[in-house]
Amino acid sequence: MSNNSDEKVKHNSYFEGRVQSLGVETDKGEATVGVMRPGAYTFNTGTAEVMVIISGELKVKLPNSDWEIFEPQQKFSIGEKQSFDVSCENDVAYICYYA
């Protein structure tokens, strides 16, 4: 991503619009800021990611791990080309940094 002010913001929509994110360039590099509506979702990574919860509570099952709960300001990492499961009972906001 570049900081070109004429460039449109990248918008991603998953799971029939129940998870949506916007692309942003941060001091840590490329990222997305998103929202998840209540539900259960499985994601696949292309690159390594670090996800930081902004608001809400997200239940996460990383590969070869048990379910864990992540709350605001907590983060988790997932490697490239991996799959992980999440679920939430209320809206969750997050920022996802890409390696």
pLDDT in tens, 23-48: 999 999 999 999 999 999 999 999 99
Which residues on neighbouring strands pair with residue 24, listed in sequence order? 31
Could you tell me the pLDDT band of residue 81, with boundaries at 50, 70 and 90? very high
pTM for the model? 0.89
Domain definitions of the chain by residue range: 11-98
Domain 11-98 has CATH 3.40.50.10110: no
CA distances (Å), origin 50, targets 4, 19, 29, 94: 25, 17, 12, 10
Beginning with the edge strand found earlier in the chain, give each strand of the sheet holding 39-44 in spatial order.
39-44, 83-88, 58-61, 67-70
Residue 86 contacts residue 43 (beta carbons within 8 Å):
yes
What's residue 1's pLDDT?
46
CA nearest neighbour of 59 among 74, 75, 72, 70: 70
